[in-house]
Amino acid sequence: MRRIARTVRLNSAVVVVGALLAGCGLLGGSESGNEAVAGMDMQAAAERADRMFYATVGQIKPEIEWVHYRTTTGRCDVTRYWTVMTVVSEQRRGNLLGVVERFWKANGYRIKMVNPSKEMPEIIATSQDGFGISVLIGYKGQAFFEVTSPCVEKSEVAGPKRVANGRAYEGEIPTPNVRSAFWSAETPVPDPAPSP
Give residue-wise pLDDT tens across range 16-63.
Answer: 444 444 444 455 444 434 466 778 999 999 999 999 999 999 999 999
Residues 94-117 have pLDDT tens digits of: 999 999 999 999 999 999 999 999
pLDDT at 98: 97
CB 7 within 8 A of CB 13: no
Residue type, 46: A
Q: Calculate ∠ Cα 59-65-67, nearest 5°.
A: 110
CB count within 10 Å of CB 70 equals 14
CB 122 within 8 A of CB 142: no
The Cα-based distances of 54 to 16, 74, 82, 147, 196 in angstroms read 23, 23, 10, 11, 38
- Cα 11 to its chain centre, rounded Å, is 13
pLDDT at 183: 97
Beta strands 78-84 and 66-73: pairing type? antiparallel
The Cα-based distances of 96 to 33, 119, 173 in angstroms read 32, 15, 21
Considering the entire predicted model, what is its pTM? Answer: 0.81
Q: Where are the domains of the chain?
A: 2-148
